[in-house]
Amino acid sequence: MADEKRKSIDPAVLTLVEKAAADEVMLCWDRLDEQSPQCGYGIAGVCCRNCAMGPCQINPFGDAPQKGVCGVDAETIAARNFLRSIAAGAAAHSDHARAVVEAFIRTADGEIPGFEIKDEQKLLSLAMDLGVSIEGKDTAAVAKEVGKTLREQFGRQDGELAFIAKAPIKRQELWRAQGIVPRGIDREIVECMHRTHIGVDQDYKNLMKQASRTALADGWGGSMIATELQDVLFGNPVPIVGSVNLGILEPDQVNIIVHGHEPLLSEMVVAASRDKELLALAKEKGAAGINIGGICCTANEILMRHGIPVAGNFLQQEVAVVSGAVDAMIVDVQCTLQSLTDVAGCYHTALITTNPKARFFGARHLEFDEANPLVAAREIVTIAVENFPNRKRKVVIPTDNKTDMVAGFSHETINYILGGLFRGSYRPLNDNIINGRIRGIAGVVGCNNAKVTHDEHHVTLVKELIANDVLVLQTGCSAVACAKEGLLVPEAATRYAGPGLAEVCEAVGMPPVLHMGSCVDNSRILMAATAVVKEGGLGDDISDLPCAGAAPEWMSEKALSIGHYFVASGIFTVFGVTWPTLGAKHLTEYLFSGIEEELGGKWAFETDPVKTARLMIDHIDQKRHKLGIDKARERVLYDMEKRRELET
Amino acid sequence: MNDEKRDVGQGGSDVLGPTYEAGKPDAPDDWRKKLRSREEMLGYLKTACRYWYSDDWYGSERRKTRA
């Protein structure tokens, strides 16, 4: 990219991109330049390397070759690749969930010092979901049974995943009719790998059926299990003020960045950073204190439960190190760049891996021992403190780039805010959708992608949506992008939102863009949508709602899994940047159109964020029209005589 | 700011602008701590979270097959 400013809209990032160039440090944008032009067959999704007769590529423009060595065509290749990506995404979320379940059971058994059942109410709700009796049982006993029941969700061979029953009734019926209700989470993922092996499933529609079942095993299975149990262990999120962007780094303090996705260790790192002995050691080393910042979804987890500041999103992990002010970066799983070892090697930053599933060659590994997580956390903080005097290059902290935000809008908290303690309810939201003050709801989620200007598509899309009275629910790196722009504070309603949405936000005292957590917490969006359906007045199914989803800067396989469980749950979902099946005409048409007849939701692809907003708003308006709430209607007050007429 | 604007369904709506107190809260409003006993928690689930946990209230699905 010739124009440096096109790399990001974030001045903090641009400042540190300049510093990286001066320090001769290579960043993701430089590597993208080296990789360009990228393989067209790969981009179009029509390269198959699933057997040793290949790799085979299909010409997407109609010339030869049109078949692989085994006879496979473009539709099957692209469908298999798409399904494998969804399997990988679902596996990532679900293996995260498995780690949480295991820690949860050990916590219930009293085996993990420092961990406890923090949210008994959430535990009770899970017991009711799972049919676990609570009579005569203390919290630990209920937790043990809930944990064991949820652990069985991974390996069950038949029946239905338990949380499927939380969906609207009509949606459950549709899934059963389509034969896509997930059985065990692991079973669905294994079946994806079997079906995509050479010589197995060669029907793109049948492959997409398994894609739906696997994605549902993620959204209503793995991701939901992770979210629910993390809430029980660390507390259901409530609104909390935090700050965001690289300006949160402190020049005179030990800066520790926690990066990745699982909150298990980072919770303990936060606790260790408050330890008096370690604070005294920091002072001894010349630091004024210990400052923790988060990147990626770990950031979202500790932000919404502790108000710990967010240093940035996915594409800020390298530049955070380039600041020269990060004394240690701790990574666990998912979205951590291998280049961090190279970048950290140019500065003094100690890069520490903590998860046996995710080790970096050249990084220090300190395994997270569940039996005593505080010991590992203290050791990590000690390494960072000891490293503070070793800052060897110029420190540049973009101190002006720090923005306030409000995080922590779990679906339970939205219910409480709208209805209060004695009658929590989604009624006010439904009423304001029906009366038109709120036009609809959008879930805008997902990653950053170096192929598009960092954060620009998230921010442009969300501003356009709220200006058109669409309430936006966010998670993950997308939420961080918009938080940096100042959209996640109540004041943003007056400044950016349309009149109806602004009026509702003012009345409730909430931002027009609600932070709902990390990427596994997209399951909270499913639950919020279900609550809106069940409250009534907006149809019987999620697919009836005036709502839409988007991931305008997606890059990970997890995003594809999320997108597909949105679609399979009945939500119109638009992805930007690139689309992985463009070389397969019929499959793409099916995903963008035909699948809607079966699932009520469908995919779309659009690279322009303003046009993406238009697609979403048009869809919302169509749904409003179908519900008959697109026009103001005269209010009719019924007297008794009219009521009797109605009854007859 | 006092700006009358048009909304999708109902016509005029009055946007008042910031009428709240300036400043930031010192601590989060942890509403869940208001529910202290198991009975209170179960009661809350059955009323506020009736969409999933009430025996006799299922919102728009009330008159249909129970989940």
Chain B residue with CA closest to A126: the answer is: B53
Whole-number average pLDDT of chain A: 95
* Residues of chain B contacting residue A536, judged by C-beta atoms under 8 Å apart: 59-60, 62
Compute the average pLDDT of residues A113-135: 94
User: What is this model's ipTM?
Assistant: 0.88
Sign, Cα dihedral of A67, A69, A71, A73: negative
Q: Tell me the C-alpha to C-alpha distance, in Å, between residue A310 and each of A435, A465, A578.
A: 37, 24, 28
What pLDDT shows up at residue B66?
46
- In the block, which residue shows the tokens 């100690």? A350
Comparing CB atoms, the residue among B7, B16, B41 nearest residue A436 is B7
Note whether B9 contacts A436, CB cutoff 8 Å: yes
Any chain B CB within 8 A of the CB of A536?
Answer: yes
Compute the average pLDDT of residues A601-630: 97
Read off the pLDDT band of A58 (50, 70, 90): very high
Q: What does the block give as tokens for A405?
A: 């935000």
What pLDDT shows up at residue B9?
56
Pairing of strands A572-575, A547-551: parallel
The pLDDT tens digits for A152-211 are 999 999 999 999 999 999 999 999 999 999 999 999 999 999 999 999 999 999 999 999
Q: Which is nearest to A561 in space by CA: A152, A92, A205?
A: A92
Any chain B CB within 8 A of the CB of A507?
Answer: no
The three-class DSSP label of residue A406 is strand
Nearest chain A CA: its distance from B63 CA (Å): 11
Nearest chain A CA: its distance from B39 CA (Å): 10
The pLDDT tens digits for A323-368 are 999 999 999 999 999 999 999 999 999 999 999 999 999 999 998 8
Query: Is a pLDDT exceeding 60 seen at residue A75?
Result: yes
Q: What does the block give as tokens for A370?
A: 């569940």
The three-state (H, E, C) secondary structure of A416-433, written as one string: HHHHCCCCCCCHHHHHHH
Distance of alpha carbon A546 from alpha carbon A640, whole angstroms? 34
The pLDDT tens digits for A252-262 are 999 999 999 98
What pLDDT shows up at residue A631?
79
Query: Is a pLDDT exceeding 70 seen at residue B12?
Result: no
Facing residues of A470 across strands? A440
The three-class DSSP label of residue A242 is strand
A251 with A291: CB under 8 angstroms? Answer: no
* Residues of chain B contacting residue A125, judged by C-beta atoms under 8 Å apart: 45, 49, 52-53
- The beta strand positions in B1-67, using DSSP E, are 3-7, 11-15
Pairing of strands B11-15, B3-7: antiparallel
Note whether B32 contacts A491, CB cutoff 8 Å: no
Q: Tell me the C-alpha to C-alpha distance, in Å, between residue A545 and each of A312, A623, B52.
A: 33, 6, 19
Compute the average pLDDT of residues A214-225: 98
A27 with A320: CB under 8 angstroms? Answer: no
What pLDDT shows up at residue A1?
47
Going by the DSSP 8-state scheme, the letter that residue B57 receives in this structure is -
Kind and range of the H or E run holding A597: helix A595-599
A354 with A330: CB under 8 angstroms? Answer: yes
Q: Which of residues 393-412 of A touch B (CB under 8 A)?
A: 404, 408, 412
Read off the pLDDT band of B19 (50, 70, 90): low
Nearest chain B CA: its distance from A135 CA (Å): 11
Nearest chain B CA: its distance from A91 CA (Å): 28
Read off the pLDDT band of B25 (50, 70, 90): confident
The three-class DSSP label of residue A34 is helix
The pLDDT tens digits for A429-447 are 999 999 999 999 999 999 9
What pLDDT shows up at residue B27?
80
What pLDDT shows up at residue A212?
98
Task: Name the least confident of A184-193, A510-519, A564-573, B50-59.
Answer: B50-59
Nearest chain A CA: its distance from B19 CA (Å): 8
> DSSP labels for A601-642?
--EEE-S-HHHHHHHHHHHHHHHHHHHT-SS--------HHH
Note whether A421 contacts B61, CB cutoff 8 Å: no
Any chain A CB within 8 A of the CB of B53?
Answer: yes
Mutate which of A432, A434, A506, A621 to disrupt the B interface (most B C-beta within 10 Å)? A506
CATH topology of domain A74-234: Substrate Binding Domain Of Dnak; Chain:A; Domain 2 (1.20.1270)
Half-sphere exposure of residue A294, counting CA atoms within 13 Å on the CB side?
33
A272 with A374: CB under 8 angstroms? Answer: yes
Residue A284 or A640, more confident? A284
Chain A residue with CA closest to B47: the answer is: A423
* Residues of chain B contacting residue A470, judged by C-beta atoms under 8 Å apart: none
Note whether A499 contacts B13, CB cutoff 8 Å: yes
Q: Which is nearest to A510 in space by CA: A428, A444, A623?
A: A428
Residue A267 or A416, more confident? A416
For residue B63, the tally of other CB atoms under 10 A from its CB is 6
The pLDDT tens digits for A457-501 are 999 999 999 999 999 999 999 999 999 999 999 999 999 999 999
Compute the average pLDDT of residues A247-272: 93
Query: Is a pLDDT exceeding 70 seen at residue A635?
Result: no
The pLDDT tens digits for A88-111 are 999 999 999 999 999 999 999 999
Note whether A506 contacts B35, CB cutoff 8 Å: no
* Equal fold, A246-390 vs A410-627: yes
For residue A203, the tally of other CB atoms under 10 A from its CB is 12
The three-state (H, E, C) secondary structure of A170-226, written as one string: HHHHHHHHHCCCCCCHHHHHHHHHHHCCCCCCCCHHHHHHHHHHHHHHHHHHHHHHH
Any chain A CB within 8 A of the CB of B29?
Answer: yes
Comparing CB atoms, the residue among A469, A536, A629 nearest residue B7 is A469
Any chain B CB within 8 A of the CB of A469?
Answer: yes
Nearest chain A CA: its distance from B10 CA (Å): 5
- pTM value is 0.94
Nearest chain B CA: its distance from A533 CA (Å): 7
What pLDDT shows up at residue B65?
46
Chain A residue with CA closest to B10: the answer is: A632
Distance of alpha carbon B44 from alpha carbon B41, whole angstroms? 5
Residue B61 or A508, more confident? A508
Note whether B13 contacts A437, CB cutoff 8 Å: yes
Compute the average pLDDT of residues A293-301: 93
CATH architecture of A246-390: 3-Layer(aba) Sandwich (3.40)
Comparing CB atoms, the residue among B24, B28, B60 nearest residue A534 is B60
Residues above pLDDT 70, as percent of chain A: 98
Query: Is a pLDDT exceeding 80 seen at residue A632?
Result: no
Any chain B CB within 8 A of the CB of A535?
Answer: yes
Read off the pLDDT band of A423 (50, 70, 90): confident
Q: What does the block give as tokens for A360?
A: 């970096």
Nearest chain A CA: its distance from B65 CA (Å): 8
Task: Output the CATH code of domain A410-627.
Answer: 3.40.50.2030
Any chain A CB within 8 A of the CB of B3?
Answer: yes
Any chain B CB within 8 A of the CB of A53?
Answer: no
Read off the pLDDT band of A147 (50, 70, 90): very high
For chain A, the maximum distance between any two Cα atoms, rounded to a whole number of angstroms, is 85
Comparing CB atoms, the residue among A490, A503, A624 nearest residue B14 is A503
> DSSP labels for A495-541?
HHS-HHHHHHHHHHT--SEEE--SGGGHHHHHHHHHHHHHHSSS-SS
Distance of alpha carbon A220 from alpha carbon A504, whole angstroms? 30
Query: Is a pLDDT exceeding 80 seen at residue A3?
Result: no
Percent helix, strand and coil across chain B, each to the nearest 5 = 30, 15, 55
Q: Spell out the domain ranges in chain A.
A: 4-57, 74-234, 246-390, 410-627
Q: What does the block give as tokens for A287?
A: 């630091």
